[in-house]
Amino acid sequence: MGRAEARHTGESAGFPRLYHEQRGKRTDSPFNRRRKSLSARHGSRLPARIDFVPAVIESVAHAVEQARLATRALVEFGTHLFDPTVRLGITGLSRAGKTVFITALVHGLMRGGCFPVFEALGSGRIAGARLSPQPDDAVPRFDYETHARSLLIERRWPDSTRQISELRVIIDYQSQSGATRTLTLDLIDYPGEWLLDLPLLRQSYEDWSAESLTLSREQPRAQLAQAWHSHLATLDPSAPADEQTAMTAARLFTDYLKACRDDRFAMSLLPPGRFLMPGDLAGSPALTFAPLELSGTDPPPDCSLWAMMRRRYDAYKSVVVRPFFREHFARLDRQIVLVDALAALNAGPAAVRDLERALTAILDCFQIGQRTLLSALVRPRVDKILFAATKADHLHHASHDRLEAILRRMTERAAERADFTGAEIDVIALAAVRATREAQVRRNGEMLPSIIGVPAAGESSGRRLFDGETEVAVFPGDLPADPDTVFRRALDKPGGIRTAGRSPGEADLRFLRVRPPALPPADAEAPALPHIRLDRALQFLLGDRLR
Ligand code: GDP
């Protein structure tokens, strides 16, 4: 990563350039065009998938569940008529930026942040926003106060999302016709890893085992799975069940999944989600299983290791996965999916491919209402989904649109693969908190568009170890102007994105973790946090509900 003397430009000092969308001129997005063309082709019914048909007893349970959900939906609908409410889901894989996003969003709403593109706030129609007790007693509260203190006062990033949490914000506003109104905004923060569990509901233990093993034999996963594979080779699935064996297999399998998440590999598709994000289930038997090498699909011998693993896998689906989708996911109205696309681009082609697969799986979750039997239980009512590439402040503004274009292309490809015809989708590159400034930096006689920030204590570049106080200028590299290049490169063998002047194999765009920005002491009570395009995200997600 290049460092050089910084020479500040006019651009560097203040807030980032805001990219105003020309909403008036906007035509249909490719997703919505595709949705319309598919609907026209198939009428309202899309080609059905073949799904597992539940046994009679499950059908009865299913019908009871349906009735319960229908009643809840009616009650919620009635309540929402008098007290309009938006349940906004915030998800993304671990460290995608969920906690920072929610903290910045709530702070911006309550403080009246600098959000010119968020029309209701920009035009002054929002009178105020305040926190209120959340509706779900069984869900932990999002610890806004602690996170805000970390960001604003201690100048360190808050602790990341480990499990689901919720926060209610009441927004008082004036409608465009002048009437005084209130919108209740429920923010639901949950790990994206849990979303990637949905396909398990359709898979038997045997199918899941086979699929997980096939995936673990692809590179770079294979090298990370060596210890688990070696242990697996010693196991006889028909041997008597043994708790210690199951625990060792589950531990080695979990270690492999964790290694895949490491920044160097940045893999995304790693179910079961609770193995990486156990929430309050760490160590429970429902998480003590792993794939086995199975030949044939015969029923497992009684009391065998295979039977034990299968039973736990089924328990995981019924006590963990299904309740999450039923109780939380199915009740969302809007969704933002945060994506650390830069981490995938940094890690190279395999990570880019994997991210695209994960996006396909995520879109499948929002599709389920349309066409599967299973869907009735977990049908989402989400009508808008925003995919957001986070941490755009690690790039010079010249690359913000490029990052957005890459994620857009990735999402389009995922939507095609998922045959997606559901909610309205948009894509954005943002930084919920802008921790850098911009400058032109001279390097080898060339002026390079760079970013300036304070690397966190303990970060290093080459031999230099940073103390958390020193500001450095970094040339972060360019993203390609043509987003398709990323996918063509993803097919080539080595190397992710490379920038001119870098040797092959040298990772460009690798970024140092910088500290949150220093804020003006004059307004220390509640200084506004700088951001990039957070207001555009809010306009897409909430603009129509605040008219
Ligand atoms: P979560 O696991 O999705 O909750 O992720 P967090 O919100 O905790 O973010 C993980 C890390 O990403 C943080 O500790 C920061 O280092 C970094 N990060 C998140 N959002 C931003 C942002 O807007 N700008 C910058 N520069 N870094 C961010």
Query: To test the ligand 1 pocket, which listed residue (93, 94, 99, 100) has its Cβ within 8 A of the most ligand atoms?
Result: 100
Task: Please give the number of the atom of ligand 1 that sits closest to the Cα of 433.
Answer: 23
CB of 73 closer than 8 Å to CB of 489: no
Residue 154 has what pLDDT?
92
Average pLDDT over residues 521-545: 86
Name which residue sits closest to atom 6 of ligand 1, judged by CA.
97
DSSP H or E segment with residue 41: helix 30-42
Instruction: Tell how far CA 126 is from the center of its chain.
Output: 28
- 95 C-alpha to ligand 1 centroid (Å): 6
Task: Please give the number of the atom of ligand 1 that sits closest to the Cα of 104.
Answer: 23
Query: Mean pLDDT for the chain?
Result: 81
- 328 C-alpha to ligand 1 centroid (Å): 24
Largest CA distance in the chain: 75
CB of 433 closer than 8 Å to CB of 516: yes
Residue 150 has what pLDDT?
95
pLDDT bin (cut points 50, 70, 90) of residue 75 is low
Task: Please give the number of the atom of ligand 1 that sits closest to the Cα of 430.
Answer: 23
Average pLDDT over residues 4-16: 31
User: What count of other Cβ atoms lies within 10 Å of the Cβ of residue 233?
Assistant: 8
For the entire predicted model, the pTM comes to 0.83
- 516 C-alpha to ligand 1 centroid (Å): 10
| Secondary structure of 143-176 in HEC code, one letter for each residue | CHHHHHHHHHHHCCCCCCCCCCEEEEEEEEEECC
pLDDT tops 70 at residue 453: yes
Paired strand residues for 130: 170
Percent of the chain with pLDDT over 70: 77
pLDDT tops 70 at residue 40: no
Task: Please give the number of the atom of ligand 1 that sits closest to the Cα of 94.
Answer: 2
- 348 C-alpha to ligand 1 centroid (Å): 21
- 484 C-alpha to ligand 1 centroid (Å): 27
- 517 C-alpha to ligand 1 centroid (Å): 13
Reported as a single tens digit per residue, the pLDDT across 383-435 is 899 999 999 999 999 899 999 999 999 999 888 887 777 789 999 999 999 99
Average pLDDT over residues 430-449: 90
Name which residue sits closest to atom 11 of ligand 1, judged by CA.
95
Mark out the alpha helices in 43-149 (DSSP H runs).
56-82, 98-111, 119-122, 144-149
pLDDT tops 90 at residue 364: no
Reported as a single tens digit per residue, the pLDDT across 111-124 is 988 999 999 999 99
CB of 95 closer than 8 Å to CB of 518: no
Residues 215 and 354: their CA atoms lie apart, in Å, by 10
Average pLDDT over residues 173-201: 93
pLDDT bin (cut points 50, 70, 90) of residue 61 is low
- 80 C-alpha to ligand 1 centroid (Å): 33
Please give all residues whose beta carbon lies within 6 A of any atom in ligand 1, as ranges: 92, 94-100, 157, 160-161, 390-391, 393-394, 431-433, 435, 513-514
pLDDT bin (cut points 50, 70, 90) of residue 165 is very high
Name which residue sits closest to atom 21 of ligand 1, judged by CA.
391
- 68 C-alpha to ligand 1 centroid (Å): 38
- 97 C-alpha to ligand 1 centroid (Å): 4
pLDDT bin (cut points 50, 70, 90) of residue 36 is very low
- 159 C-alpha to ligand 1 centroid (Å): 9
Residue 521 has what pLDDT?
67
Q: In what order do the strands lie in the sheet with 424-429?
A: 126-132, 165-174, 180-189, 85-92, 334-339, 384-389, 424-429
Percent of the chain with pLDDT over 90: 52
Residue 496 has what pLDDT?
37
- 529 C-alpha to ligand 1 centroid (Å): 14
Residue 206 has what pLDDT?
94
pLDDT bin (cut points 50, 70, 90) of residue 380 is low
Name which residue sits closest to atom 13 of ligand 1, judged by CA.
157
Name which residue sits closest to atom 15 of ligand 1, judged by CA.
157
Name which residue sits closest to atom 14 of ligand 1, judged by CA.
157
pLDDT bin (cut points 50, 70, 90) of residue 62 is low
Name which residue sits closest to atom 10 of ligand 1, judged by CA.
95
Name which residue sits closest to atom 1 of ligand 1, judged by CA.
95
pLDDT tops 60 at residue 209: yes
Nearest to 397 by CA among 346, 434, 349: 434
Average pLDDT over residues 201-224: 93
Average pLDDT over residues 263-276: 88
Name which residue sits closest to atom 24 of ligand 1, judged by CA.
391
393 Cβ contact partners less than 8 Å away, ≥ 6 residues apart? 16, 431, 433, 434, 435, 436, 451, 453, 532
Reported as a single tens digit per residue, the pLDDT across 484-526 is 888 776 544 333 333 333 443 333 345 678 999 988 765 555 6
Residues 257 and 269: their CA atoms lie apart, in Å, by 9
pLDDT bin (cut points 50, 70, 90) of residue 158 is very high
Residue 22 has what pLDDT?
30
Task: Please give the number of the atom of ligand 1 that sits closest to the Cα of 157.
Answer: 14
Residue 338 has what pLDDT?
98
pLDDT tops 60 at residue 153: yes
Q: Picking from 66-70, 96-100, 165-169, 525-529, which range would have the lowest pLDDT averaged per residue?
A: 66-70
Residues 360 and 414: their CA atoms lie apart, in Å, by 4
Residues 249 and 261: their CA atoms lie apart, in Å, by 19
Angle between the N-to-C axes of helices 400-417 and 30-42, in degrees from 0 to 180, rounded to the nearest 10: 20
Nearest to 309 by CA among 237, 235, 216, 231: 237
Average pLDDT over residues 292-319: 91
Select the more confidently predicted residue: 106 or 44. Answer: 106
Choose from 22-36, 309-323, 469-483 the range with maximum mean pLDDT: 309-323
pLDDT bin (cut points 50, 70, 90) of residue 12 is very low
Task: Please give the number of the atom of ligand 1 that sits closest to the Cα of 434.
Answer: 24
